[in-house]
Chains A and B, each alone.
Chain A
Amino acid sequence: MRYMMMMHAPRADGGYQINDWSPEDFKAHIAFMHRYNKELVDAGEFVGAEGLAAPGEARRVRAAADGTPVTDGVFPESKEFLAGYWIIEVDRPERAYELAAKVSAAPGPRGAPLNMPIELRQVMSGPPPQDA
């Protein structure tokens, strides 16, 4: 079964809070992520992962009545923001929870675990049936 693990990161003004960390703390965090990804790949559990550009560049788009895009750039109310995600292939939900907890504990300032919320959603195995 496949899961999407969404990493919600605390945001500062328009950017990721991580941009305000000391270079050492930033390096330790990135090294953790590289190790984590390598472990997923080695275990055959890695399907894909992407990192997203900073919240200040995000847009919300809706179709206007004539189908043209209406864009809106502000997410003033959100304290947390999707910073990236993984898609993993695991045998059971509990394994997905373990992997999510592991990345939740990625190190932050002075090496303390961030304990970030990781949203876990199962990926559909195929298009839903016509009569669903």
Chain B
Amino acid sequence: MRYLLMMHVPPGDGTYEHLHWEPADWAAHRAYHERFNRELADAGELVGIQALTAPNEGKVVRAGAGGVPITDGIFPEAKEYLAGFWIVDVDSPERAYALAARASAAPGPGGAPLDMPIEVRQVMAGPPDA
């Protein structure tokens, strides 16, 4: 079964908070993720991974009259926003939760675990039949 693990981070000023971290803290954070990703890949559990640019560059789009795009900035009111995600292929939901907890505990300033909320959503096996 496949799961989407979504990493949510605090919005701050609409840019990524780690831009204000000490370089050593950021390097440690990235090294943690690189290790985690390699372990997922080695275990055959990694399906995909993407990182997103900062929320102040994001847009919400709706179709207006005639299908014309209406674009809006996104994030002033959000408490947290999506910074990136993994898709993992695992045998049980518990394994997905265990992997999410690993991602959650990535180190932040001073090496303390961030304990970020990771949203875990099962990916559908295929498109529904029309």
Of B30, B58, B121, the contact of A82 (CB 8 Å cutoff): B121
Question: What per-residue 1/0 map shows which CB atoms of B86-119 lie under 8 Å from chain A?
Answer: 0100000100011011101100000001011111
Contact B63 A67 (CB under 8 A): no
Contact B113 A63 (CB under 8 A): yes
Assembled-state Cα–Cα distance A64/B122 (Å) = 22
Is B48 engaged at the interface, CB distance under 8 Å to the other chain? yes
Contact B117 A62 (CB under 8 A): yes
Contact A51 B123 (CB under 8 A): yes
Interface size class of B (residues with CB under 8 A): 35 or more
Question: What per-residue 1/0 map shows which CB atoms of B48-87 lie under 8 Å from chain A?
Answer: 1011110101111111100111110010000000100001
Question: What per-residue 1/0 map shows which CB atoms of A12-46 lie under 8 Å from chain B?
Answer: 00000000000000010011011000000000000
Contact B127 A33 (CB under 8 A): yes
Shortest B60–chain A CB gap in Å is 5
Size of the A side of the interface (Cβ < 8 Å), in residues, is 52
Shortest B9–chain A CB gap in Å is 13
Contact B70 A51 (CB under 8 A): no
Contact A130 B123 (CB under 8 A): no
Of A27, A68, A123, the contact of B50 (CB 8 Å cutoff): A123
Contact B124 A63 (CB under 8 A): no
Q: Which of A48, A68, A105 has the most CB of B within 10 A?
A: A105
Q: Which residues of A contact B122 (CB under 8 A)?
A: 52-53, 57
Assembled-state Cα–Cα distance A132/B52 (Å) = 14
Q: Pick 17 A–B contacts, CB within 8 A, sort by A.
A: A27-B130, A48-B48, A51-B123, A53-B124, A62-B118, A64-B101, A69-B104, A71-B97, A101-B63, A104-B69, A115-B64, A118-B62, A120-B58, A121-B52, A121-B57, A121-B58, A132-B26
Closest 10 A/B residue pairs (Cβ): A101-B69, A69-B101, A100-B61, A105-B63, A61-B100, A63-B105, A53-B122, A104-B63, A63-B104, A97-B69
Question: Which residues of A are interface residues toward B (Cβ below 8 A)?
Answer: 4, 6, 27, 30-31, 33-34, 48, 50-53, 57-64, 67-71, 82, 84, 87, 93, 97-98, 100-102, 104-105, 113, 115-124, 127-128, 130-132
